[in-house]
Amino acid sequence: MLELLDRQMRKIEILENAYNIRETESLNAVNHLEFILPDTDIKAAACLPFLFVRFGESGDAYRLIGNGFVLTEKGHYLFKAEHVFALLIDDILEGDHRVGNIGTWTRESIQYVLDRQLTENWVLGDCEFDRQFEYEWTDETLLSAILSIPQPIGEPFMWTFDTSTYPFRLNLVRLNMDRNPDIYVRAGKNALRIGREEDATTVVTRLYPKGDGEGVNSLTIANVNNGVPYLQSPPEIVEKYGIVQRVWRDKRFTVAQNLLDAAKAMLLDLQEPFEQYEVEFELLDDRPQIGSIVEIVGFKRTVITQIQWRHDEMSQTKISVANKPRTAAGTISAMSNRQRIQANYALGSTFFYSENTMDNSDGVAPVELRFRIPFQMAVINEIRCFVRLSQFRTTAPPIQRFGNATQFEVRLNGQYLMTIHATENQFSLVPHLLQNSTIQRGIFHTVEIVPNDAARVDISCYIQGFVRSTGTYAIT
């Protein structure tokens, strides 16, 4: 029986005249429900948007999102509802949010998102993963942020819900694909029809992951993957399908290790064709559930990824099962969709600036230039220094010029670097600033020039890199 509930989950009506009650449950997605009421049923007027419905006392809660009237000899109203998991769409992570990395576990990242609800509709229950990934969101709904958290984990997972109490309870659990079957389906016994579909257009055997940045400044996995910018399937997979290359770009990734972990999970999902079976049945040995392992006798052992319930005509209920969970990261078309979404995540651009100084040196005291690389500069392309010597020039009249410098010594951060036998030259500081394959940000670096005679010294330092446009202010 279909029940109508208020926003505090209190029963308002029993919709005893509802029919064609169809509920679609999907793995790791928002479920949907629809039903029909006759136009003569006065309870149709009570089915207002944003009230809740559920099928039976133990059924999941759904939020009404609209209805339509069909004018026939026997007119009726068609009502549509979405699972209360979609309540997380109503709240957003406004602005820039970064959470995770070393010391912050999966549970804490989920809790960070749930804490941003204006009304506490959902609380966190079980979380069976303990990972330390970093996440970054900009102007994102809480639902999208929640769904993105397990994507880099690299093993099958499943979101489960308990809507029997309020606030509702959300769980993130492991999906054990190797356990014994929960359900057996046999042709001629409980299966009316078995259909099979295979999609090989999604196969990828070499994946180039790219994260935050643009052009040559894009984050890659090369630094954490032995200098190789791609991941490749095992030889036995390549032998079957050849080298099939794709680029996956997700600008939300700002840490190379996190990008690598997510790419491993994606390649594992993409390197075999996607197989899906649709089964119509009369009565299964056990009631099917999303995530149940099914043995289709004579075909394959697999996982239930979707159930289409027909509550008033159970003989028409269908289950869809697949050789693997098909997540948002599981298809090339989904990859393309994510790339279209990335306009919200283009958080920076190539930045070019310079520091300059000009002063006299007596041939003993150095002329010093200080420059600072900001923390926000995610990628450094070049730090180039230009030096020019001319004659020492007095500042008080009468102006006098003297000195005959022909070379100069370069010191970097107080340490001797080189001697240049010329009065004008340019050189890169990048190789000399590198420490453990990076250059320290947020501190002042110094370049000192000491000519071999009295001279006027001009120093310019040009810095080019990729800077994320995140910060406290947005002044125009």
Q: How large a percentage of the chain has pLDDT more than 70?
A: 83
Residue 455 is predicted with a pLDDT of 94
Residue 152 is predicted with a pLDDT of 75
How confident is the model over 235-249, as pLDDT tens digits?
A: 999 999 999 999 888
Residue 34 has pLDDT above 80, yes or no: yes
Rounded CA gap, 76 and 182, in Å?
39
Same-domain status, 462 and 359: yes
Same-domain status, 313 and 418: no
Residue 396 has pLDDT above 70, yes or no: yes
In sequence order, what are the residues at sequence separation of 6 or more whose Cβ sits closer than 8 angstroms to the Cβ of residue 216?
381
Same-domain status, 187 and 307: yes
Residue 253 has pLDDT above 80, yes or no: no
pLDDT confidence band for 289 (50 / 70 / 90): confident
Residue 283 is predicted with a pLDDT of 55
Residue 178 is predicted with a pLDDT of 80
Residue 464 lies in a domain: yes
43-52, 166-175, 188-197, 308-317: segment of lowest average pLDDT:
188-197
Residue 160 lies in a domain: no
Residue 88 has pLDDT above 70, yes or no: yes
Same-domain status, 426 and 364: yes
Of 86, 115, 145, the last residue of a domain is 86
Rounded CA gap, 390 and 36, in Å?
89
More confident residue, 430 or 286: 430
- Residue corresponding to tokens 């009506």: 13
Of 86, 114, 130, the last residue of a domain is 86
Helix (DSSP H) and strand (DSSP E) numbers for the chain: 6, 31
More confident residue, 346 or 360: 360
Residue 336 is predicted with a pLDDT of 40
pLDDT confidence band for 400 (50 / 70 / 90): confident
Nearest CA to 322 out of 97, 23, 28 is that of 28
Of 86, 116, 138, the last residue of a domain is 86
Longest dimension (CA), the chain: 110
Rounded CA gap, 270 and 326, in Å?
10
How confident is the model over 71-82, as pLDDT tens digits?
A: 555 678 889 999
**Could you give the C-alpha distances from 288 to 184, 292, 295, 344, 447, in angstroms and in order?**
10, 7, 12, 39, 70
Same-domain status, 318 and 190: yes
The rounded mean pLDDT for the chain is: 82
Residue 271 is predicted with a pLDDT of 87
Residue 318 is predicted with a pLDDT of 73
Q: How large a percentage of the chain has pLDDT more than 90?
A: 39
pTM: 0.61
Domain that includes residue 419, residue range: 348-468
Residue 370 lies in a domain: yes
Per-residue burial over 69-92, b if 16 or more Cβ lie within 10 Å, else e, is eeeeeeebbebebbbbbbbbeebb
Same-domain status, 74 and 194: no
451 prior amide bond cis, ω within 30: no
Residue 101 has pLDDT above 80, yes or no: no
Residue 43 lies in a domain: yes
Same-domain status, 366 and 450: yes
pLDDT confidence band for 399 (50 / 70 / 90): confident
Same-domain status, 310 and 371: no
Residue 383 lies in a domain: yes
Residue 199 has pLDDT above 50, yes or no: yes
Residue 282 has pLDDT above 70, yes or no: no
Same-domain status, 188 and 317: yes
Residue 444 lies in a domain: yes
pLDDT confidence band for 468 (50 / 70 / 90): low
If you average pLDDT over residues 100-105, what whole number do you get?
81
The enclosing domain of 372 has a CATH number of 2.60.120
CA count, 13 A, side-chain hemisphere, 195: 6
Residue 67 is predicted with a pLDDT of 74
Residue 16 has pLDDT above 80, yes or no: yes
Most confident range (mean pLDDT) of 69-83, 217-231, 370-384 is 217-231
Residue 207 is predicted with a pLDDT of 94
Residue 232 has pLDDT above 80, yes or no: yes
Residue 387 lies in a domain: yes
Query: Beta-carbon neighbour count of residue 115 at 10 Å?
Result: 10
Residue 110 is predicted with a pLDDT of 95
Residue 158 lies in a domain: no
Same-domain status, 353 and 433: yes
Residue 384 has pLDDT above 90, yes or no: yes
Domains identified in the chain, total number: 3
- Residue corresponding to tokens 């399937």: 233
Same-domain status, 461 and 373: yes
Same-domain status, 316 and 402: no
